[in-house]
Homo-oligomer: A and B are copies of this chain.
Amino acid sequence: MRSTTGQTPDYCAIEVAMEVLGGRWKLVILKQLLGGKQRFSELKRAMPQITARMLTRQLRAMEEDGLVERTVYREVPPRVEYTLTETGRGLDEIAGMLDDWGRWYLATRGGSLNGPPRMPARTDGHPVEGAVP
């Protein structure tokens, strides 16, 4: 296991942030929860792409990381609500900036990442620049 935790002198705090916030869903869930307390099914409905399994796992991880709080109501139809903790809410600004940046990026770059619709010849797009000074 990779430290990121330990006293290795070679990590940078961004790695820590990415370990807590990284992955495909964490920040999306967080953004959802910025809208206020929500229950499992609401979150699920808000993010159709995520599977129940992943949603559970991410929420658990975020809970362990102190980002969300989980409240279980023992009712006949079970109810579980999720809220952001102070720590979680503190990510408001960062989430917002990433969201803005993502939107801006999409707009600038024409809505296509480097995924499936990969531009053919681009690897050697700008081949050689200049000679040595």
Contacts and interface: CB of A to CB of B under 8 A. Distances in A.
A94 B98 contact: yes
A129 to B, nearest CB: 5
Contact of A128 (B73, B87, B94, B109): B73
- Stoichiometry (number of copies): 2
Contacts of A118: 64
Contacts of A130: 71, 73
A109 B5 CA distance: 11
B71 A19 contact: no
A22 to B, nearest CB: 6
Contact of A17 (B49, B72, B99): B99
Contacts of A10: 47-49
Interface residues of A, number: 76
Given A71-B126, A93-B97, A113 B12 contact: no
A95 B14 contact: yes
A9 to B, nearest CB: 10
